[in-house]
Amino acid sequence: MMKPLMLVAAAVFAVAAMPATAVAQADHLMLKDSPKTELTLTEPLAVANTVLKPGTYKFQCRVFAGGKTFLVVTVAQTGKEVVRTPCVRETLDSRIANSSFWTTIGANGHRTLTRVGIEGESVTHRLLDVN
Q: Write out pLDDT tens, residues 67-95.
A: 899 999 999 999 999 999 999 999 999 99
Please tell me the number of Cα atoms within 13 Å of 13 on its side-chain side.
6
Domain containing 11: what range? 1-30
Q: What is the pLDDT of residue 129?
A: 74
Are residues 53 and 13 part of one domain?
no
Are residues 93 and 59 part of one domain?
yes
Q: Tell me how many domains the chain contains.
A: 2
Are residues 74 and 13 part of one domain?
no
CA distance 12 to 16: 6
* pTM of model > 0.95: no
- The answer on pLDDT for 66 being more than 50 is yes
Are residues 36 and 25 part of one domain?
no
Looking at residues 23-36, what average pLDDT do you find?
Answer: 63
Burial 87-126 (b: 16+ CB within 10 A, else e): bebeeeeeebeebebeeeeeeeeebbbebbbbeebebbbb
Are residues 93 and 45 part of one domain?
yes
Are residues 111 and 80 part of one domain?
yes
Contact 40, 55 (CB under 8 A): yes
